[in-house]
Amino acid sequence: MSRNGSDGRTAAGDGVPAKRGRPKDRYLRVGVGHPSGDATLHRDFEVRASYNEGAGGWVAQVGEQNRNNQIDVWGPAPGDGQERVFTTPAACLGYAVAGIVEMADAEAADES
């Protein structure tokens, strides 16, 4: 059985046909601790991989959660001047997470 329902079945195997069309978004939440260990400097992000038919692949959007667990602004992965396209959602999410960690490390280095 296909995990994305491309064979007309659901990943859960419940017998309900999966809707064909655009693949579902994949997302994860990432917490980045500050090297100092200070919990008040900990930052939380949501990373979303969406299939972009026009681009022919998966693109990442990243949003940092504010103190109310809301995301004010979505944007491309840190360090990207333009949107990158990936063939799999896993590669897309991995790239975005690497960018978040590099950004946090660079900001921490600037503070010291």
Could you list the mean pLDDT of each consecutive 10-residue stretch along the chain, which spans 112 residues? Answer: 41 47 90 85 92 94 88 84 89 94 87 74
Question: Is residue 104 in a domain?
Answer: yes
Question: Is residue 86 in a domain?
Answer: yes
Question: Is residue 106 in a domain?
Answer: yes
* Structural domains counted in the chain: 1
Question: Is residue 82 in a domain?
Answer: yes
User: Which tokens in the block code for residue 47?
Assistant: 């990373």
Question: Is residue 62 in a domain?
Answer: yes
User: Which residues have C-beta within 8 Å of that of residue 62, sequence separation ≥ 6?
Assistant: 45, 46, 47, 48, 74, 75, 76, 77, 78, 96, 99, 100
Question: Is residue 89 in a domain?
Answer: yes
Question: Is residue 2 in a domain?
Answer: no
Question: Is residue 16 in a domain?
Answer: no
Q: Which domain holds residue 93?
A: 26-111
- HSE-CB of 71 using CA atoms within 13 angstroms: 13
